[in-house]
Amino acid sequence: MSETVTVCEVGPRDGLQMAKTIMPTAVKARWIAAIAAAGVPEIEVGSFVPPKLIPQMADTAEIVREAVRLPGVQIVALAPNLRGAQNAYEAGAHRISVPVSVSEGHSRANLNRTPAEQVAEVARVVAWVRAQPRAMQVEGACSTAFGCSIDGVVPTAAVVRVASGLAEAGVDSVGLADTVGYGHPAQIKDVVRAVRAAIGPRLEGLHLHDTMGLGLANALAGLEEGIRSFDSALAGLGGCPFAPGASGNIVTEDLVFMLESMGFSTGIDLEKLIAARAILHAGLPAEPMHGNVPKAGIPRTYHPAGRAAA
């Protein structure tokens, strides 16, 4: 049997937060349903942040309540603090991702806290979630783990310190985010090894951007280090409003093509995934859409993992 790699689609959150216009809620719900119908196992559908800061996320509670009705898909929401976590729980989210910027500059710009203060906030979130009757997973996301457009170089020791703090806070998992897309494959390997040495298998995923054109190369480096969970965005949407210069996420369509071609099973139907771009384009007609596989077309040589070649 093929080894499984989990792909989490973050377009409805990370992708839309940088869009120049706001996707209508009904269109967003249809888009998310189409992504789920393509077999994507996890979808980050929004973030519980003040609408005045990111108006594109104002309908997140409504979207979560709608999305959790979709069968066979884990619904994820970003929650930067305890109040956001409580709102996500009330809406029915299966998992929350709580960001902790490793770099001081991004942490203050994004959350108005130091990294240490945000780790303490994560501990409060975990304690509250564990006291609730319904289970909700908590992921600690180490933002700017591979470089920062405000502070520049981010030392590996700082990433390990934040990741270790998150593990001590009791999160279910830790992810490493190349928030601004400055990382390179050797760096990905070095940081993954260092963090895994500190916190073990609690390190699960990578969130990669393609600013320097190295997104898929970095994903491959992560694969080689044993990472089996990746965030990506349909059509390569995305960026961070508090990280100048950050461009879109790695393209989900291209990532799935690479993984399946290499023999990793994602459970995703690539044709259905590409078809979901039509809903995205209808909801945001002025937004540029990226991706080499959708542009070139799925080649006849493509045989998804687990299916025999003709």
Catalytic residue numbers read: 240
Nearest to 12, CA basis, from 84, 62, 52: 62
Query: Residue 115: in which H helix or E strand, if any?
Result: helix 115-130
Distance CA(229)–CA(219), nearest Å, equals 10
For residue 22, the Cα-to-chain-centroid distance in whole angstroms is 20
Question: What is the rounded distance in angstroms from the CA atom of residue 48 to the CA atom of residue 59?
Answer: 9
Q: Please tell me the distance from the alpha carbon of residue 64 to that of residue 77, in angstroms, as a whole number.
A: 8
Taking the alpha carbons of 71, 79, 173, 267 in that order, is the dihedral positive or negative?
positive
d(CA 206, CA 209): 10
Residue 128 is inside which H or E element, if any? Answer: helix 115-130
- Strands 42-47 vs 74-78: parallel, antiparallel or unpaired: parallel
